[in-house]
Amino acid sequence: MKKEGVKLIENGKRLDGRGLDELRPIKMEIGVLKRADGSAYVEWGENKIMAACYGPREVHPRHVEEPDRAIVRVRYNMAPFSVPDRKRPGPDRRSVEISKVTKEALEPVVLTHLFPRTVVDIFIEVLQANAGTRCAGITAAALAMADAGIPMRDLVASCAAGKIDGKVALDLMGLEDNYGEADLPVALAPNKKQVTLLQMDGNFTRAEFEEAFEKALGGCLKVYEMQKKTIRKKYEV
């Protein structure tokens, strides 16, 4: 992961002018798709992500349904044009993993027992990627679920922290992710204070890990406030 020769922090500022505790600019929109039961669009720095939610609806294939609760299915997919070199379309090892962890990040907040034998389907389409797409995807998917009126224990907000030039920084962008030393995506159910996703790429010392984790949680809370504002803006009065 570590490549030499790129200076990522100069005079305490990062390459895009942010401080170490600053998020990229985030824009959220909700209810953007007519045909889906719920949808959301998130622009997170250079990331552009569309999420759609369907259900609860009948499960196909039948054998995966649960007699006492709803299941949650997630498909994370990247558009071929989402990255500088064309991404070969279709699921690959990375997107299958992200689909799995996203599902596990969202399922704990859904009140699944209310809808036995059904499924909540979530589709996350990455239109443009620049590091941190799983966090942006989870954030967008939670908004899409709220838009679909699916009963939830809490929203889910997600944000990452990483290590660049030996320093812990919030929300790495593409360049920092490529040349940095570590990345730590976190998803949080803010009112429950429950972490539903925690991954680590690269290496932190124990102290660095704790610092990065706290920073990421702080980022999640900022993202959560934006999510609330987005829902309120669309549906209040």
Residue from 127, 128, 151, 198 binding another protein (CB under 8 A):
151
For residue 67, cis peptide bond before it (omega within 30 degrees of 0): no
Residue from 57, 86, 94, 100 binding another protein (CB under 8 A):
57
Residue from 32, 66, 77, 118 binding another protein (CB under 8 A):
118
Residue from 105, 109, 212, 216 binding another protein (CB under 8 A):
109
CA–CA separation, 145 vs 223, rounded Å? 16
Is 115 a binder of another protein (CB under 8 A)? Answer: yes
The interface with another protein within residues 165-184 (CB under 8 A) comprises: none
Is 222 a binder of another protein (CB under 8 A)? Answer: no
Q: Whole-number minimum distance, CB 153 to another protein, in Å?
A: 6
Is residue 131 within 8 A of residue 156, CB to CB? The reply is no
Q: Interior CA angle at 43 toward 39 and 47, to 5°? A: 115
Is 38 a binder of another protein (CB under 8 A)? Answer: yes
Residues 6+ apart with CB under 8 A from 169: 9, 14, 20, 21, 161, 162, 163, 176, 180, 215
Q: Which stretch binds another protein (CB under 8 A): 98-106, 145-153, 172-180, 208-216?
A: 145-153
- Helix ranges, 9-130 (H): 93-106
| β partners of residue 10 | 13
Task: Report which of 130, 115, 108, 106 is spatially closest to residue 40, judged by C-alpha positions.
Answer: 106
Which residue number, 15 or 152, has a Cβ lying nearer to another protein? 152
Which residue number, 95 or 230, has a Cβ lying nearer to another protein? 230
Task: Report which of 154, 69, 73 is spatially closest to residue 109, judged by C-alpha positions.
Answer: 154
Q: Whole-number minimum distance, CB 108 to another protein, in Å?
A: 12
Residues in contact with another protein by the rule CB under 8 A: 37-38, 55-59, 70, 109, 111, 115-118, 146-155, 189-192, 227-228, 231-232, 235-236
